[in-house]
């Protein structure tokens, strides 16, 4: 048996196989010499377009093919030795004629893998000046169809559900054209299934395609012997900056578990998602197996330890500014992490940091302590808050779940009325997202939900706060897509005046109601200024049309408001926007105007970054 190596890099998702884990698939495909003649020996690729004279009058040979299309035409064309003479002005007349006489046979063989064994090719060769014109009219003839299929796997692998599914889906099925490409794909899928499930010693016992040319029929027989299923043995990790014992906590399996490729993929994902490593290579060598138990060797390359970020920023909500940060991927041999980030803009100044301690377990779990300072000014509010948070975060297929305790204190002004408060509360957050491309998705969705609450007597006020947002992106045809968003929120408190702006609800702005300023909308206080509301309901619908390249045009309508019980007033804005799928995510430049609620004129909205 050959050794198997799975190199993994974060820039290359999935598996790149050197000495592939799918060893059996390679062995099976390599053992098809008995069918190699069906693929038309002597095929030659046509010369690159750059090698063919652009002036047709200077081409030694010109070739025209009719009667076949698509993949069959490509196969026939690439099989023509004659096309190799197109860029050879020194080719003699006798050479052209001799190569032309072989063309019909070459083309007929090129059609056999598609199930056509009775092709008829009519050809002409005419000399015009210094150029030979070769014309071929191809009639593929009657296709050969499969009349019987006998495919199976003996041994314990034959009882494996995944292997059985690959066998059940074998093609070509009876009644279908004998397409050898489909046959090879189906054979490889069975071999892949066996390898993925740990039957690394599997062999093909019988592989036979019996073709009866006179009857245009074929019988397929393919038999595998799975052999015993291998087990996962001891795992060793080389090249890491941490003790091996710490990294073994990432293993999704135990010694003695059945060999399954998906377990190695999980290990790869966990190690890469830890952000400690730039490369992960898993080496599995069946020759080292003892009693069919295979040792696993993992080689890793540490990632860059410290990441510095910085740049300029602009948003119609925050104004122009600069931002920066430092991310320390590990601080010690226990894998602790830390980061600091800062932003200074016209309407927002913030500074924050986190200390993260990874925890043992199957999911990506960690304990986090964070401290942040925020000084923000909007059209309706001014706030200067310090927030201390500590809690637990878990990430898995179900999403990101976090809960913990928070304390916040500071001064604020809402609707020109000053206030201050100190609050202590537990908080819970759940977030999940899916997309075909998180940077520039064409389809996907996300859900975020936050809950915070504190009893009366704990801090300056008792309250319960909940907010949720859902977003969906879907394609509409090949050129268009639509985006829908819904945001809901509710606040219950025994002292609303003690609620800082971040625990009240406002509407308006780039990511809320376009056509209105940031936090411009909400219930009014006693002096007629926006005071924030106890409830929030905002929806948005956007339709985007692709224009050209990475650019598109969108039309949208946003509607909703922040409000108090029994006092809902609809606000709505409509507009058009330009979309650019940039290397850093979608750039959205929108012009919007109010059509309901207090407001007038046209407002510019600019947002840069991923949509999900």
pLDDT in tens, 523-534: 998 888 999 999
Q: Is residue 198 part of a domain?
A: yes
What was the pLDDT predicted at 19? 31
Strand partners, 607: 588
Q: Is residue 31 part of a domain?
A: no
Residue 318 and residue 457 in one domain: yes
Residue 500 and residue 405 in one domain: yes
Q: pLDDT band at 41, cuts 50/70/90? A: very low
Which 3 state secondary structure label does DSSP give 282?
strand
d(CA 593, CA 137): 63
What was the pLDDT predicted at 584? 83
What was the pLDDT predicted at 15? 33
How many CB atoms are located within 10 Å of the residue 304 CB? 9
Strand partners, 579: 552, 588
Q: pLDDT band at 6, cuts 50/70/90? A: low
Q: Is residue 33 part of a domain?
A: no
Please determine, for residue 49, whether its predicted confidence score (pLDDT) is greater than 50: no
Residue-wise pLDDT for 423-454, tens only, equals: 999 999 999 999 988 888 889 999 999 999 99
Q: Residue 259 gets which letter from DSSP? A: P
Q: Is residue 71 part of a domain?
A: yes
Tokens of 69: 């299309």
What distance lies between CA 354 and its chain's CA centroid?
A: 28
What was the pLDDT predicted at 439? 84
How many CB atoms are located within 10 Å of the residue 171 CB? 14
Longest alpha-carbon distance in the chain = 103
Residue-wise pLDDT for 72-101, tens only, equals: 999 999 999 998 888 788 889 999 999 999
| DSSP line for 270-332 | HHHHTTSEEEEEEEE-GGG-BTTEEEEEEEEEEPPSEEEEEEEEEETTTEEEEEEEEEES-SS
Which 3 state secondary structure label does DSSP give 568?
coil
What was the pLDDT predicted at 57? 53
Closest-CA residue to 512 (of 490, 537, 491, 492): 537
User: What's 370's domain CATH number?
Assistant: 2.40.160.50
Residue 67 and residue 53 in one domain: yes
Residue-wise pLDDT for 126-142, tens only, equals: 998 889 999 999 999 99
What was the pLDDT predicted at 451? 98
Residue 274 and residue 354 in one domain: no
What was the pLDDT predicted at 376? 92
d(CA 489, CA 429): 14
What was the pLDDT predicted at 430? 97
Closest-CA residue to 554 (of 542, 569, 541, 539): 542
d(CA 25, CA 386): 59
Residue 245 and residue 122 in one domain: no
Q: Is residue 519 part of a domain?
A: yes
Residue 152 and residue 134 in one domain: no
Which 3 state secondary structure label does DSSP give 437?
coil
Tokens of 496: 């609303």
Q: Which of 87, 118, 139 is the last residue of a domain?
A: 139
What was the pLDDT predicted at 90? 86
Please determine, for residue 34, whether its predicted confidence score (pLDDT) is greater than 90: no
In angstroms, the Cα distances linking 200 to 99, 185, 355 are 46, 19, 44
Q: What is the mean pLDDT of the chain?
A: 88
Residue-wise pLDDT for 304-361, tens only, equals: 999 999 888 777 778 888 999 999 999 999 999 999 999 999 899 999 999 999 988 7
Q: pLDDT band at 58, cuts 50/70/90? A: low
Q: Which of 302, 320, 344 is the last residue of a domain?
A: 302
**Containing H/E element for 610?**
none
Please determine, for residue 22, whether its predicted confidence score (pLDDT) is greater than 50: no
User: What's 274's domain CATH number?
Assistant: 3.10.20.310
Tokens of 95: 């050479």
Tokens of 486: 């819904």
Residue 387 and residue 525 in one domain: yes
Residue-wise pLDDT for 229-272, tens only, equals: 999 999 999 999 999 999 998 999 999 999 999 999 999 988 99
Q: How many domains does the chain have?
A: 4
Q: Which of 225, 251, 284 is the last residue of a domain?
A: 225
Closest-CA residue to 38 (of 244, 211, 161): 211
What's the mean pLDDT in 369-387? 94
Please determine, for residue 29, whether its predicted confidence score (pLDDT) is greater than 50: no
Q: Is residue 330 part of a domain?
A: yes
What was the pLDDT predicted at 177? 96
What was the pLDDT predicted at 21? 34
What's the burial of 360, exposed, middle or buried (CB within 10 Å: 0-12/13-18/19+)?
A: exposed
Q: Give the domain range for residue 209.
A: 144-225
What's the mean pLDDT in 102-126? 94
Please determine, for residue 24, whether its predicted confidence score (pLDDT) is greater than 80: no
Please determine, for residue 572, whether its predicted confidence score (pLDDT) is greater than 70: yes
Residue 56 and residue 167 in one domain: no
What was the pLDDT predicted at 202? 94
Please determine, for residue 602, whether its predicted confidence score (pLDDT) is greater than 80: yes
d(CA 284, CA 233): 10
What was the pLDDT predicted at 23? 31
What was the pLDDT predicted at 18? 32
Cβ pair 339, 278 in contact under 8 A: no
Residue 184 and residue 242 in one domain: no
d(CA 265, CA 250): 12
Please determine, for residue 37, whether its predicted confidence score (pLDDT) is greater than 70: no
Tokens of 461: 């006020």
Tokens 């300029």 found at:
312
Q: Is residue 8 part of a domain?
A: yes
How many CB atoms are located within 10 Å of the residue 214 CB? 6
> Above pLDDT 70, what percent of the chain?
90
d(CA 390, CA 369): 4
**Containing H/E element for 527?**
none
Residue 298 and residue 310 in one domain: no
Q: Is residue 32 part of a domain?
A: no
Residue 455 and residue 403 in one domain: yes
Residue 522 and residue 587 in one domain: yes
């Amino acid at each position: 048996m050959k050794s198997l190596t799975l190199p993994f890099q974060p820039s290359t998702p999935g598996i790149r196989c050197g000495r592939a884990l799918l060893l059996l698939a390679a062995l099976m495909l390599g053992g098809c010499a008995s069918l190699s003649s069906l693929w038309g020996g002597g095929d030659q690729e046509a010369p690159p377009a750059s090698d063919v004279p652009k002036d047709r009058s200077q081409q030694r040979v010109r070739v025209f093919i009719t009667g076949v299309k698509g993949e069959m035409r490509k196969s026939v064309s690439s099989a023509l030795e004659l096309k190799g003479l197109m860029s050879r002005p020194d080719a003699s007349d006798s050479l052209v004629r001799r190569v032309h006489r072989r063309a019909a046979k070459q083309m007929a063989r090129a059609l056999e893998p598609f199930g056509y064994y009775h092709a008829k090719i009519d050809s002409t060769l005419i000399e015009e000046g210094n150029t030979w014109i070769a014309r071929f009219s191809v009639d593929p003839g009657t296709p050969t169809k499969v009349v019987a299929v006998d495919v199976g796997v003996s041994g314990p692998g034959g009882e494996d559900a995944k292997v059985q599914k690959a066998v059940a889906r074998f093609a070509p099925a009876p009644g279908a054209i004998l397409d050898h490409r489909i046959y090879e794909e189906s054979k490889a899928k069975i071999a892949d299934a066996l390898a993925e499930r740990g039957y690394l010693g599997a062999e093909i016992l019988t592989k036979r395609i019996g073709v009866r040319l006179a009857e245009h029929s074929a019988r397929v027989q393919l038999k595998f012997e799975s052999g015993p299923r291998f087990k996962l043995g001891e795992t060793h990790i080389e090249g890491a900056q941490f003790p091996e014992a710490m990294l073994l906590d990432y293993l999704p399996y135990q010694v003695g578990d059945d060999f399954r490729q998906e377990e190695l993929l999980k290990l790869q994902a966990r190690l890469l998602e830890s952000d400690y490593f730039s490369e992960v290579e898993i080496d599995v060598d069946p020759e080292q197996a003892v009693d069919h138990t295979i040792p696993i060797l993992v080689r890793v390359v540490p990632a860059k330890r410290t990441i510095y970020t910085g740049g300029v920023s602009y948003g119609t909500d925050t104004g122009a500014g600069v931002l920066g940060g430092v991310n320390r991927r590990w601080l010690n041999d226990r894998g602790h992490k830390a980061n600091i980030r800062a932003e200074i803009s016209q309407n927002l100044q913030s500074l924050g940091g986190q200390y993260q301690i990874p925890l043992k377990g199957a999911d990506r779990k960690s304990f986090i302590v964070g401290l942040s300072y925020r000084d923000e000014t909007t059209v309706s509010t001014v706030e200067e808050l310090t927030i201390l948070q500590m809690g637990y975060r878990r990430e898995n297929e179900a999403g990101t779940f976090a809960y913990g305790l928070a304390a916040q204190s500071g001064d604020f002004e809402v609707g020109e009325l000053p206030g201050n408060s100190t609050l202590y509360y537990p908080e819970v957050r759940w977030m999940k997202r899916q997309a075909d491309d998180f940077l520039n998705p064409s389809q996907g969705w996300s859900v975020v939900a936050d809950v915070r609450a504190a009893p009366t007597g704990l801090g300056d006020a008792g309250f319960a706060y909940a907010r949720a947002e859902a977003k969906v992106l879907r394609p509409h045809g090949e050129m268009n897509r639509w985006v829908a968003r819904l945001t809901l929120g509710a606040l219950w408190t025994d002292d609303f005046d003690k609620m800082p702006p971040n625990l009240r609800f406002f509407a308006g702005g780039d990511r809320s109601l376009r056509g209105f300023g940031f936090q411009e909308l909400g219930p009014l206080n006693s002096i007629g200024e926006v005071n924030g509301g106890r409830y929030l309901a905002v929806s948005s619908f956007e339709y985007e049309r692709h224009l050209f390249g990475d650019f598109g045009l969108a039309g949208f309508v946003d509607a909703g408001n922040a409000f108090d019980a029994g006092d809902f007033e609809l606000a709505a804005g409509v507009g058009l926007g330009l979309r650019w799928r940039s290397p850093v995510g979608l750039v959205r430049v929108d012009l919007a105007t109010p059509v309901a609620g207090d407001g007038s004129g046209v407002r510019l909205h600019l947002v840069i970054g991923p949509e999900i």
